[in-house]
Chain A
Amino acid sequence: MELRILAAPREQQALLDLPWDMPLEQWPEWYLVALPRGISRHVVRFTRLGRNVYALKEIVKPFADREYQMLRDLARLDVPAVQAVGVVSGREAPDGSTLDSVLVTRHLQFSLPYRALFARMMRRDTVDRLIDALVVLIARLHLTGFYWGDCSLSNTLFRRDAGAFAAYLVDAETGELHNALSDGQRAHDLDTARTNIAGEMMDLLAAGQLDESVDPIAVSDQVVERYEALWIELTEWEAFDVNERWRIARRVDRLNELGFDVDELDIVTDIGGRTIRVQPKVVDPGHHSRRLLRLTGIDAQENQARRLLNDLDTYAAVTEQQGEDEEIVANAWVLDSYEPVLRAIPRDLRGKLEGPEIFHEVLEHRWYLSENLGHDVGLEEAARDYVDTVLRHKPDELAILGGTSAEADTTQPFRITWNDLQ
């Protein structure tokens, strides 16, 4: 059989140099990057090619092709998920035996597996934020008709998002894309999520990596409650008297606040016209990050964008430009505030956090500093102090971190495959 690499041309070149005639498990260390692995049933390894880190998963060809296609579809639907790079098939060992295909995905920069977040003792409110991020991800997936089939913290990556987190889907192997999901599919997906999350939390507790005040079962209940509340807000009909028409605007505001744009709203007036019923038809996540991108060209997570937009509003007020055209003010803000802060970060510290996250932290730092000193320190001074007292001491999160390639089954949940039954 001939080796076949299905990928974008640029990545194909780089991928060619890897030892495809060897089972992934036997790849020499120098090809590999030690990253904490997820919970895959299959052999997964990470490798660095050029500036990027790639995840490689060994898997039978139909599954590799299917997951590749699924991740491409999810990308088209704008779902936060890891990016599929290609499938390497037709692998053969020197002795002529065939090897399974390899699905290649690009490692998400600045992403954090939950195990890495828990490496230092995890506090209750951090757990809450992780759960919130995951719930938003599940609801987004369900809105697009995606049934995950194996939702868990292990199958998710987290990126910092202005003190909170944004969640990304990592493993789509069990996923299915439908036109719309049935209530049964959603309920089952949520039940799986709930069981997996409780298991993962109990495991962390047993390992002494979770604060004793966190109750895994309460956390898993919370997943269900928050999902249900969010789902209702996103999809339910709401009925009110014709005189309470302001409630339409209120509903849209609430969805914006949750980070969703409402592209279509279904409004029905009852016979007699006394009651109005409304239901969001098309909701689109990323309300703030889209607005920030449009105004400034800065690509940020939802909460980061909200934070940056707030700062932009403050800037407009302070510089008395509230009447000005929004885009002109935004441009001035980027030149006066955002870029000087990022320029103040020494090059060797830029791998610590993403740009928007650094800006968010500098804003926080400025606030604390000003409070302590009793007067407003400028952005410039805040940035300088932040670099020296905070950023320098943070771990590098560009490509995290601290995983070992040996003995994964002693540190993290693992899958068993049927062939183990032998």
Chain B
Amino acid sequence: MATVTFDKATRIYPGTDKPAVDALDLAIEDGEFLVLVGPSGCGKSTSLRMLAGLEEVDGGAIRIGDRDVTHMPPKDRDIAMVFQNYALYPHMSVADNMGFALKIAGTPKDEIRRRVADAAKLLDLSEYLDRKPKALSGGQRQRVAMGRAIVREPQVFLMDEPLSNLDAKLRVSTRTQIASLQRRLGITTVYVTHDQVEAMTMGDRVAVLNAGLLQQVDSPLGLYDKPANVFVAGFIGSPAMNIATFDIKDGRAVLGDADVAIPASISSKVAAEGSNTVVLGFRPEALLPASAEEQGGIPVLVDVVEELGSDAYVYGRPAGPAAEEQADRLRSDQVIARVEPRNAPQKGDKINFAIRPGSEHFFSVKTGERLEP
């Protein structure tokens, strides 16, 4: 087992100016499950393939433990691309199915026997080693395939969207299984997905990439609670965060009829940048129906109500005379609010929401970076 370090690692495809992966700095801890996530073309798969040795590295370095693997052939890196190509062979025993790749590599017989026995123990397969795959259940067969990767005793497991060929329902149940297996094995794992929910549910930490640049790396909760910039704020979370550009007037953030109190420190930080606008974000669950005596609030006209039993979500648009301007400055086409189920408003209702104090997110209009109050 080992750490993995991307040290200003860069990949520029021939014939392009912009790096596909731009000076990636990322330190992955021993035994960690790290997820690389981002929209299509963000550089997540390229980063994984640089680590695997499939993509050339044009700048910087990649290390596994203390070994510089930047220009090493894939098979010398002690990595395993898991779950992509594993077949089971019907006429071979479980033990042979697990160990035959070691035979090719010239590993001595008793060493193979030891490693297969160890892996079988880890995977609860010890009593099946002499059987043929046909005699196993589906789950046991899957673990035999895992065993093929484990007996190589790789330093790092790499997984590139392993669940993408499953339908949505199976993906949900299977991702939990993979995550728990990884925790049991304790092998450093780098996992690529485009699905932020998958990333959040599986990773010890999640690295968000966009346009070849690392945006933020943190625990799932860290990303959710303190997104480092507007991109991460909008990418992480489902339903997505509401984000809009507000004017600052008299210590309040104002956008048409929407009017929200903000900390004095934010006002002064914005003023210090020479600006009078700020990007304000608030998650659907940070919205509460405002009481009548409260000043300001965010008026919303309800379009759709989604009742999920445990939750209900209102999908609406800005209400009031300046609604059009508000809609223009909103990052998405709608305002989403979590409301009390069984007591949800109706389509066409107008509701005035307040943001739960302390759950606002502020970002610089100029840099997109998070502003801490």
Contact = CB atoms under 8 A, between A and B. Distances in A.
Interface of A: 39, 41-42, 59-60, 62-63, 100, 147, 149-150, 152, 154, 173-174, 179-180, 182-185, 187-188, 191-192, 194-196, 198-200, 202-204, 206-207, 217, 220, 409-422
5 contacts: A60-B165, A184-B56, A217-B104, A419-B138, A421-B174
B85 A192 contact: yes
A199 B87 contact: yes
Interface in B53-109: 53-56, 73-75, 81, 83-92, 96, 100-101, 103-104
A123 B228 CA distance: 64
A107 B113 CA distance: 42
B52 interface: yes
Nearest to A204: B91
B134 A198 contact: no
B138 A412 contact: no
Interface centre among A152, A154, A185, A416 (most CB of B within 10 A): A416
B202 to A, nearest CB: 13
A416 B88 contact: yes
Contact of A422 (B52, B91, B96, B139): B139
A188 B91 contact: no
B257 to A, nearest CB: 41
B91 to A, nearest CB: 4
B85 A184 contact: no
B308 interface: no
Nearest to B176: A421
B344 to A, nearest CB: 27
B139 A421 contact: yes
A149 B14 contact: no
Interface of B: 14-15, 52-56, 73-75, 81, 83-92, 96, 100-101, 103-104, 133-134, 138-139, 141-142, 145, 162-167, 170, 173-174, 177-178
Given A149-B84, A188-B52, A199 B100 contact: yes
A413 B89 contact: yes
Contacts of B174: 418-419, 421-422
Contacts of B73: 183-184, 187
B89 A202 contact: yes
Contacts of A411: 90
A419 B170 contact: yes
A62 B142 CA distance: 24
Contact of B166 (A198, A414, A417): A417
A206 B165 contact: no
Contacts of B53: 184, 187-188
Nearest to B77: A184
Contact of B142 (A59, A147, A420): A420
A133 to B, nearest CB: 20
Given A60-B166, A202-B92, A203-B89, 10 more contacts: A154-B87, A179-B14, A187-B53, A191-B74, A206-B96, A413-B88, A413-B90, A415-B88, A422-B139, A422-B173
Contact of A59 (B15, B81, B165): B165
Contacts of B101: 195, 198-199
A196 B134 contact: no
A414 B92 CA distance: 12
B54 A188 contact: yes
B85 A196 contact: yes
Contacts of A100: 167
Nearest to A193: B85
Closest 5 CB pairs of A and B: A420-B138, A203-B89, A206-B91, A207-B91, A184-B53
A202 B103 CA distance: 11
A151 to B, nearest CB: 9
A420 B89 CA distance: 16
Given A60-B166, A411-B90, A418 B83 contact: yes
Contacts of B15: 179
Contact of B74 (A41, A184, A198): A184
B104 A195 contact: yes
A193 B96 CA distance: 18
B75 A187 contact: yes
Contacts of B75: 187-188, 191
B191 to A, nearest CB: 13
Nearest to B89: A203
A47 B92 CA distance: 31
B90 A420 contact: no
B166 A416 contact: no
A420 B141 contact: yes
Contacts of A63: 164-165
A198 B100 CA distance: 8
Contact of B55 (A182, A204, A409): A182
B89 A200 contact: yes
B54 A415 contact: no
Nearest to A154: B87
A72 to B, nearest CB: 20
B89 A182 contact: no
Contacts of B74: 184, 187-188, 191
A180 B55 CA distance: 11
B90 A409 contact: yes
Nearest to B55: A182
Contacts of A188: 52-54, 74-75, 81
Contact of A409 (B52, B133, B139, B170): B133
Contact of A182 (B54, B145, B178): B54
Contacts of A220: 104
Contacts of A59: 165
Contact of A416 (B14, B141, B178): B141
